[in-house]
């Protein structure tokens, strides 16, 4: 059905919860991080769901910014055994930001860039 991995969900949210069957829910899906003052520390979840042909995959999420070095936020291996079943990884991330600005989450599958997701860190009154 698929000849390469596809990214269904690349989300940033306040919380990821799972019911008894393991079905995930994303609470507080957000695009912008607001703080009245900087430096500021934010805590949030990154959630990724991919569908892919059967095989083993390594999924990683990095924080990109206008800084020289990207920062790895999340990395996990997933084994896809059934065609067309979504596989997801998620993790809680706590990050300090020295200043407002434009940042980017970069998603890699087996070290190949798969999707980027820019986001803004903003100072609000």
Residue 124 Cβ vs other proteins, minimum distance, rounded to whole Å: 12
Work out the widest C-alpha separation in the chain, in whole angstroms: 50
Q: Is 30 in the site for other proteins (CB under 8 A)?
A: yes
User: Where does residue 31 rank: exposed (0-12), middle (13-18), buried (19+ CB within 10 A)?
Assistant: exposed
Per CB under 8 A, which region of 35-43, 61-69, 71-79, 91-99 contacts other proteins? 61-69
Q: Is 76 in the site for other proteins (CB under 8 A)?
A: no
Which ranges in 28-122 belong to alpha helices (H)?
Answer: none
How many CB atoms are closer than 10 A to CB 93? 17
Tokens 């009245």 locate to 36
Per CB under 8 A, which region of 29-37, 38-46, 53-61, 91-99 contacts other proteins? 29-37
Q: Is 103 in the site for other proteins (CB under 8 A)?
A: yes
Nearest to 2 by CA among 35, 40, 50: 50
Contacts with other proteins, residue ranges (CB under 8 A): 1-2, 6, 8-11, 13-14, 19, 23-32, 49, 51, 64-68, 83-86, 88, 102-104, 115-120
């Amino acid at each position: 059905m698929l000849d390469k991995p596809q990214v269904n969900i690349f989300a940033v949210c306040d919380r990821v919860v799972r019911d008894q069957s393991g079905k995930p829910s994303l609470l507080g899906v957000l695009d912008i991080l607001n703080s009245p003052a900087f430096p500021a520390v934010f805590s949030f979840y990154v959630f990724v769901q991919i569908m892919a042909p059967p095989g083993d995959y390594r999924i990683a999420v990095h924080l990109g910014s206008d800084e020289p070095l990207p920062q790895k936020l999340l990395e996990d291996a997933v084994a896809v055994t059934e065609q067309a079943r979504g596989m997801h990884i998620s993790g809680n991330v706590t990050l300090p930001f020295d200043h407002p600005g434009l940042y980017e989450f970069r998603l890699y599958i087996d070290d190949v860039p798969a999707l980027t997701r820019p986001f803004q860190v903003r100072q609000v009154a």
